[in-house]
């Protein structure tokens, strides 16, 4: 199906849309989720408030979109996980990177903001799963399937469960600040997972 120009007949201003998302990103990073006001976004974006309310149902939706849009390009490029042939090595590489990302104070506020929206709005959660989580998981599962083929992972393993065991503890530790996010922790999660799902 040809991509083409957008045949949809909305008269929506792309310029304003971009300005709003950009201003939102900037403000969330600067003052944190709770203190971002629609009025401030509008002012910063040089946009009338109505233009925001016309296209988004809530502040949460704007913030969500702002960061969703940000990640939409990345996902296409970093399409595949490393595959050295050794699943343990590769997972540790990936998990350590994830740990580092979470630990980066720069991303702290935006990620918490995004998470907040997801946790409190079922609609946004659904969007998140479909547009962000699922594609990212697909990439990871691809690598896991490769490991299954290589006999490094149980053939019958439920890959969603594998991912949950791998990532959920890390996520929870970050969310509740219940412990330090270290490379060691990343490694031990990989170890546990591989032990649980070895052939």
Q: Quick one: 24 or 127, whose CB is closer to its own copies?
A: 127
Half-sphere exposure of 70 (CA within 13 A, CB side): 17
Phi, psi of 154 (to 5 degrees): -55, 135
* Interaction between residue 34 and DNA (CB under 7 A): no
Which residues, numbered 10-29, are part of the site for DNA (CB under 7 A)?
10-13, 15-17, 19
Q: Quick one: 74 or 119, whose CB is closer to its own copies?
A: 119
* Interaction between residue 48 and DNA (CB under 7 A): yes
186 is written with which tokens? 């990343």
In the set 13, 18, 71, 172, which binds its own copies (CB under 8 A)? Answer: 172
CA distance 76 to 161: 24
CA distance 139 to 79: 7
Measuring CA to CA, which residue among 117, 95, 106, 57 is closest to residue 192?
95
* Interaction between residue 39 and DNA (CB under 7 A): yes
Considering the complex, what minimum distance in angstroms separates the CB of residue 74 from its own copies? 20
Identify whether the C-beta of residue 118 lies closer than 8 Å to the C-beta of residue 124: yes
* Interaction between residue 39 and its own copies (CB under 8 A): no
* Interaction between residue 46 and DNA (CB under 7 A): yes
Identify whether the C-beta of residue 179 lies closer than 8 Å to the C-beta of residue 185: yes
Where on the chain is the footprint of its own copies (CB under 8 A)? 33-34, 112, 115-116, 118-120, 122, 125-126, 128-129, 133, 158, 160-161, 164-165, 167-169, 171-173, 175-179, 188, 192-193, 195-197
């Amino acid at each position: 199906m040809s991509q083409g120009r957008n045949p949809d007949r909305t008269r929506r201003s792309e310029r304003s849309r971009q300005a709003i998302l950009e201003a939102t990103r900037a403000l969330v990073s600067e003052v944190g989720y709770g203190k971002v006001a629609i009025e401030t976004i509008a002012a910063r974006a040089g946009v009338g408030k109505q233009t925001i309310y016309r296209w988004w149902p809530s502040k949460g939706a704007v913030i969500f979109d702002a960061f969703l849009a940000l990640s939409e390009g990345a996902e296409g490029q970093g399409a595949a996980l490393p595959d050295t042939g050794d699943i343990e090595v590769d997972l540790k590489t990936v998990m350590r990177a994830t740990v580092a990302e979470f630990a980066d104070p720069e991303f702290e506020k935006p990620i918490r903001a995004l998470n907040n929206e997801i946790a409190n709005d079922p609609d946004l959660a659904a969007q998140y799963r479909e547009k962000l989580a699922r594609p990212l998981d697909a990439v990871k599962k691809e690598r896991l399937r490769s490991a299954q083929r290589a006999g490094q992972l149980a053939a019958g393993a439920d890959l969603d469960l594998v991912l949950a065991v791998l990532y959920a503890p890390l996520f929870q530790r970050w969310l509740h600040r219940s412990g330090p996010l270290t490379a060691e922790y990343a490694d031990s999660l990989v170890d546990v997972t591989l032990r649980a799902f070895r052939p």
